[in-house]
Structure 1
Amino acid sequence: MHLPAFLPRPAARTLYAATAVAALAAATLAPLSARAADLSLNVAEGPATEATLYIALYADAASFGASKPLASQSLPLREGKARVVFAGLPPGRYAVRAYADENGNGKLDTNLVGLPTERYGFSNDAKGKLGAPDFEAAAIGVDADLQSAIHLR
């Protein structure tokens, strides 16, 4: 390796070492940021009347069961449809639950026995037995940009 004449040898070695460390750090960290993915969801079969879609993203079974989302959004349904994007997600398994608030009270209404009276749905169009599905039934793997659908019922 030829060192520039204007730098003393120890200073040049330090400069080359620092440059090598910076290049290695950049090469190591670049794939981490490149792994972030967008989850795009097409929600369909909502009510034809005016309604607000509430949609929540969960990263694990504990938060799914406790209704403590990693992220959530609300937006108007247009002709019973909506498109939602959760951007910049690290690789992993996620579950989504959604409902259409038809009367504008900000919650999923139920009847006297606890069955929903407004439309709702889950990722993978998962269905539960006498309640919501478990996280594993609704979980979808996200390791790159992904499009999925939820059909409200």
Structure 2
Amino acid sequence: MKISSSIVALGTLLLLAVNTLAEPLLLVVEDNRLPGFPLYLAVYAETGDQWLAEPVARKKVILPEAEQFTLPMSLPSARYAIRAFIDLNHNTRLDTSRRERPIEPFAHSAGDNRKRGSHNFQRSVFTLDEAGQQISLTLRYPKKALETLKSRETLKSLETSANQ
């Protein structure tokens, strides 16, 4: 009885310690043109083997109606890179062309002192060292994704016309 309560107390202390070390990161997702679709996010530690490493955090959200929205995450102070994609065909992976270029909307974090995200891992690494730090992820739309977007808009306008 005494041992089990000690273990519970130790577990609680560890949980509190981890939560205290975590910094609230605010991911600002910009240029959302596809509400209702799933957005997959993956956070990678700089110490990992670039984009091939196992992410330290993952998140899936359904895109809201807003063109820009904020996602809070708690991560310990460290250096990270983030990438995200909108899953147009709901297969839970980023689809690419034969030349390994994304054909679904995607985003990469902008590294320290950079204005734009980059597919290059080192250029995407930023330092998380303060509470409430904001990182922008601007979604980019490859040509194939724009074609999907246009056909979706055409479908919406046809549905609207049919309902009138």
Both structures adopt the same fold (TM-score exceeding 0.5): yes
After superposition, give the CA deviation of every residue in 1:92-118 in whole Å (9 maximum; x if it has no partner): 111111111112111111123221110
> Where is the helix percentage greater, Structure 1 or Structure 2?
2
Relative to structure 1, the CA distance from residue 111 to residue 92 in structure 2 (aligned partners, 3 Å threshold; closer, same or farther) is: same
Q: Aligned partners of 2:128, 2:95: CA distance in 1, in Å? A: 31
The 3-state SS of whatever aligns with 2:94 is: coil
1:86: how far off?
1.7
How many matched pairs?
118
1:46: how far off?
3.0
Tell me what 1:21 maps to: none
Letter in 2 for 1:138: S
Relative to structure 1, the CA distance from residue 116 to residue 90 in structure 2 (aligned partners, 3 Å threshold; closer, same or farther) is: same
Tell me what 1:103 maps to: 89
Relative to structure 1, the CA distance from residue 84 to residue 67 in structure 2 (aligned partners, 3 Å threshold; closer, same or farther) is: farther
Relative to structure 1, the CA distance from residue 107 to residue 78 in structure 2 (aligned partners, 3 Å threshold; closer, same or farther) is: same
Tell me what 1:27 maps to: none
Q: Which runs of 5+ in 1 are unaligned?
A: 1-30
Q: Which runs of 5+ in 2 are unaligned?
A: 1-16, 111-115, 141-164
Counterpart contact for 1:46–1:119, Cα < 8 Å: no
Counterpart among 21, 24, 28 of residue 42 in structure 1 = 28
Percent identical residues:
28
Counterpart among 60, 73, 76 of residue 74 in structure 1 = 60
The 3-state SS of whatever aligns with 1:68 is: coil
Tell me what 1:118 maps to: 104
Counterpart contact for 2:44–2:51, Cα < 8 Å: no
